[in-house]
């Protein structure tokens, strides 16, 4: 808003993403930013359609691809050089990765307890690694739910990890259970099944094309069984999720500057 009011040309990278859920603070930020930005760089073609439906001129919209895949490819060598999963006494491709942090999942004690029990049940079928977000840890302690997870030797609880170490766990996992936005994209790119504990996603292409599925806690056991039995749907990598998004952005900036 400051840049626009100051007459500075403003671009929004990852424009056009929509969950259509205005209870999410980031959804409001997206709507406001897209409505005032001069240049809108979208990560997938559904973003273009969202913006056009909102009355944004096509001249402002440029499909460039997913910048998060650039980050992944830039650090791939460092990611693949590690074996972080071994520190958790896990084997490559033989564990599930869990992350939970959204208020809708971790702030309500009944919902959080149900999720903990479902995760504990899944750990009877395959070992899990669960790096715990500070918000989630605080609520586990507050509601005295940590024992549901701590008493299971098949669940390895961890403090939050940096990007390189965490992505090494993603690379080598059998599947992910999450409520994160980014992991939906990274698992789609890597062809790893992802179960997203949300009623909606601002990245629907990870469902229509990728390996992501929205689900409720009650649906996790059945979906996990499908993954473990090899019956989970295979996905494809969306267009321009190729590690070259930054180059397309530079090309676009140079075109605009001419």
- For residue 258, the model assigns a pLDDT of 63
State the number of CA atoms in the 13 A half-sphere of 151 facing the CB: 9
Q: What is the number of residues in the chain?
A: 258
Contacts of 40 (CB under 8 A, 6+ apart): 11, 12, 15, 16, 34, 51, 56, 60, 61, 62
Give the Cβ contact number of residue 222 at 10 Å.
9
Residue pointed to by tokens 């390996």: 211
Domain with CATH 3.40.50.2000 in the chain: 2-65+240-257, 76-228
Of the residues 12, 101, 133, 156, only one is catalytic, namely: 101
Question: Is 156 considered catalytic here?
Answer: no
Q: Return per-residue pLDDT of the chain as tens, 258 residues.
A: 999 999 999 999 999 999 999 988 899 999 999 999 999 999 999 999 999 999 999 999 999 999 999 999 999 999 999 999 999 999 999 999 999 999 999 999 999 999 999 999 999 999 999 999 999 999 999 999 999 998 888 999 999 999 999 999 999 999 999 999 999 999 999 999 999 999 999 999 999 999 999 999 999 999 999 999 999 999 999 999 999 999 999 999 999 876
First to last CA, the chain: 26
Bridge partners of 13, per DSSP, are: 41
Alpha-helix runs per DSSP H in the chain: 2-5, 25-36, 45-53, 67-74, 76-80, 84-87, 103-106, 109-122, 134-142, 146-150, 163-171, 182-190, 205-208, 220-228, 245-257
CATH code for 2-65+240-257? 3.40.50.2000
CATH code for 76-228? 3.40.50.2000
Could you give the CA distance from residue 116 to residue 148 in angstroms, rounded to a whole number?
6
Residue pointed to by tokens 């033989």: 94
Angle at 192 between CA 189 and CA 193, to 5 degrees: 120
Residue pair 155/120 in contact by the 8 Å Cβ criterion? yes
Structure tokens at 60: 């402002």
């Amino acid at each position: 808003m400051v840049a626009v009011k100051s007459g500075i040309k403003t671009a929004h990278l990852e424009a056009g993403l929509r969950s259509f859920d205005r209870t999410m603070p980031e959804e409001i930020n997206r709507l406001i930013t897209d409505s005032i930005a001069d240049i809108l760089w979208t990560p997938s073609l559904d973003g273009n359609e969202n913006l056009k439906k909102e009355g944004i001129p096509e001249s402002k919209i440029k499909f460039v691809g997913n910048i998060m895949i650039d980050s992944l490819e830039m650090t791939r060598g460092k990611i693949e050089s590690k074996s972080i999963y071994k520190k958790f006494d896990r084997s490559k491709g033989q564990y599930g990765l869990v992350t939970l942090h959204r208020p809708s999942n971790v702030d309500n004690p009944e919902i959080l307890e149900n999720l903990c029990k479902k995760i504990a049940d899944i750990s009877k079928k395959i070992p899990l690694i669960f790096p715990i977000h500070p918000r989630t840890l605080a609520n586990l302690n507050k509601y005295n739910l940590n024992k549901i997870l701590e008493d299971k030797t098949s669940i390895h609880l961890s403090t939050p990890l940096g990007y390189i170490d965490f992505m090494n766990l993603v690379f080598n996992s059998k599947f992910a259970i999450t409520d994160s936005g980014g992991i939906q994209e990274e698992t789609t790119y890597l062809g790893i099944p992802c179960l997203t504990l949300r009623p909606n996603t601002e990245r629907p292409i990870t469902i229509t094309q990728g390996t992501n599925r929205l689900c409720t806690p009650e649906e996790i056991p059945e979906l996990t069984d499908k993954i473990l039995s090899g019956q989970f749907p295979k996905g494809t990598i969306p267009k321009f999720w190729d590690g070259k998004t930054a180059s397309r952005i530079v090309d676009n900036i140079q075109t605009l500057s001419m």
